[in-house]
Amino acid sequence: MIRSSAILLAITCLFFPYAGEAADPVEGATPNSVEEAAPTPPRIPRQRPGGKPRPARKTAEEKTRALPYEFIPVPDRWRIVESVGVEESWFDPYNRNPLKADRPVFGKDWFVNIVAISDSLFEPRRVPTPVGAQGNRRSSTLDIFGDEEQYLLSETLIFSLSLLKGDTVFKPPDYEFRFTPVWNFNYTRAEVVGLLHIDPRRGIRRYDHDFGIQELFVDKHLRNVSDRYDFDSLRVGIQGFSSDFRGFLFQDNQPGIRLFGTRWNNRIQYNLAWFNRLEKDINSGLNSTFQRRKDHIFLANVYLQDFPVLGFTLQATAIHNNNDEGERRAKFDKNGFIQRPPPRGDERPYNYQVTYLGLNGDGHVGRANLTFAGYYVFGDVDRDVIARRDIDVSAYMAAAELSIDFDWVRLKLYGLAASGDNQPFDDEANGFDAIFENPQFAGAETSFFLRQGIPLIAGGGLAVSGRNGLLPSLRSSKEQGQSNFVNPGLGMVGIGADLDVLPELRVTVNASYLDFENTSVLRVLRAQGPIDNHIGEDVSVGIIYRPFFSNNIVLRASGAVLFPGDGFKQLFNDGDRKVPYYSALANLVLTY
């Protein structure tokens, strides 16, 4: 019986080879058992009307199996997130947004990045205020120094449009076009006539508005030079540039040509550039577009990361500044004050050609954070306005900040030394001056001495130090004046702390001790007896509040007080002062 059953099964398998195949795998069968099952029989092609067989259509599974794995079609990497339910919104600047270059807006790799910023500022202050020949506006008074109270309201609107081409995950864009127009509206009130306008009839208030183009450039990716996308790129037009980590020498947006790139897996970065500076509006500080100065900057620098230790970056730089504005007519600003030549000495135009050599560093050494900058400048000035002869320039500047973190507290120790000139009438200038400084150092915006311009003569025609600057360079202004290497120099030491009280709230505290390095030139300009070197003590505190843990809404508030030293008192005749000089600010920045 068993033998006859086996014979019957063999005959069945011989004539009906697929009769024993299960329609579906047995539940619980292993993958191997399914793979070992007999293959599905081929389909019989359907006949076309002419009698020719119609090719069978392949299923999606068969098409996928026929392709190599790396060619399986999937949505692109920008839109693939849509398949898992991630949505985008054009009005949300923080999450996925097509206007923030999060996906191409046309073509396969053309992106748009739009930025809009509102920067609102209110600043009351009390600064030394020499009066002009017209005297005070108060009757029956004839003062050398007038009422020191001033107020500033400023609103700045920034719009930036960038168009980029290329896959920028691992490499720079192939092209970038950027346009950044800026509008500024400001109101200032001072209690002394002749301070805001040279014409005293225009009173003690000044309303002003201005428009400037702060960026207008095209960036071309020239080539990749390694498998890790080290590259060379060329940027032409109005662009931002900083000569060092903290903006001690030159930090500005100016028209120029810049070749830049990386080597050695991005451990080395370099810049080769030429800039031709634009005039700036004296009240807003914005570029006066298409009004060029005869002031040219040629520079080269190189950055080396992880040198001399891991986590530290070293930078070497060489910058040549050629200024030929002595060949032009006198320059007066929109308020009527002369800017070039400066109102000091014999007030005759002059040129200069100087070269800066610098070594800068930023990073951490073990647990400590370290930033330093050092510059030496040499060159010549054609007929200095004080010495009244051609002079040689030889001056230096050095600054450093050392900090260490303890959980939510960062403690800082900093210092700066800029050489001063001790012989104003000889043929050598030893006072250090920058091209266009904007230092982020020693409290920066919260500091009284850094933030406020300290006038030396009536109307602010000549300042001890400029607004948003450290160096007491005795310029007419930072925006429109020329560098001056016959100046008193500066010495500063200070301590500070950054306290991250909350994830969205930071408190900063700084205290600085300030000295002139040499006051010889101040005695000459003021025709005054001995002037002490001590400027005073600058103490400031500020807060930065970011309610959404991002930079979309930032509120800053700060206050600073300068306790004048003997030298400051002698300059501004305030030996019996009872109220210290102060400044305060409230600043709201909204960013889209």
Contact criterion met (CB below 8 Å) for 351 and 381: yes
The verdict on residue 52 lying in a domain is no
The verdict on residue 318 lying in a domain is yes
The verdict on residue 240 lying in a domain is yes
Mean pLDDT lowest for which of 275-284, 364-373, 384-393, 460-469?
A: 460-469
Structure tokens of 137? 């506006």
**Range ranked top by mean pLDDT from 3-17, 419-433, 562-576:** 419-433
The residues facing 369 across adjacent strands are 364, 403
The verdict on residue 11 lying in a domain is no
Task: Please say if the pLDDT value at position 411 is more than 70.
Answer: yes
Task: Please say if the pLDDT value at position 139 is more than 70.
Answer: no
Structure tokens of 590? 């909204």
- Amino acid type, 560: A
The verdict on residue 381 lying in a domain is yes
Structural domain total, the chain: 1
How does pLDDT run across 519-536, given as a tens digit for each residue? 999 999 888 888 999 999
- DSSP class of residue 66 equals H
The mean pLDDT of the chain is: 86
DSSP reduced 3-state for 454:
strand
The long-range contacts involving 559-564, CB below 8 angstroms and separated by at least 24 positions, are 559/446, 559/583, 559/584, 560/443, 560/446, 560/447, 560/448, 560/451, 560/584, 561/448, 562/448, 562/449, 562/536, 562/537, 562/538, 563/536, 563/537, 563/538, 563/539, 564/535, 564/536
Task: Indicate the length of the chain as a whole number.
Answer: 592
The verdict on residue 326 lying in a domain is yes
The pLDDT score that the predictor gives to residue 108 is 82
How does pLDDT run across 46-58, given as a tens digit for each residue? 555 555 555 556 5
Tokens 């191997």 appear where? 32
How does pLDDT run across 163-187, given as a tens digit for each residue? 999 887 778 899 999 999 999 999 9
Task: Please say if the pLDDT value at position 445 is more than 60.
Answer: yes
Percent of the chain past pLDDT 90, that is, above it, reads 62
The pLDDT score that the predictor gives to residue 71 is 54
Mean pLDDT lowest for which of 211-215, 227-231, 266-270, 345-349?
A: 345-349
The verdict on residue 25 lying in a domain is no
The pLDDT score that the predictor gives to residue 19 is 42
Which has the higher per-residue pLDDT, 70 or 452?
A: 452
Task: Please say if the pLDDT value at position 2 is more than 70.
Answer: no
Which has the higher per-residue pLDDT, 552 or 15?
A: 552
Q: Tell me what the mean pLDDT of segment 580-585 comes to.
A: 92
- 249: domain CATH number is 2.40.160.100
Domain extent for 359: 110-591
Contact criterion met (CB below 8 Å) for 132 and 460: no
The pLDDT score that the predictor gives to residue 14 is 42
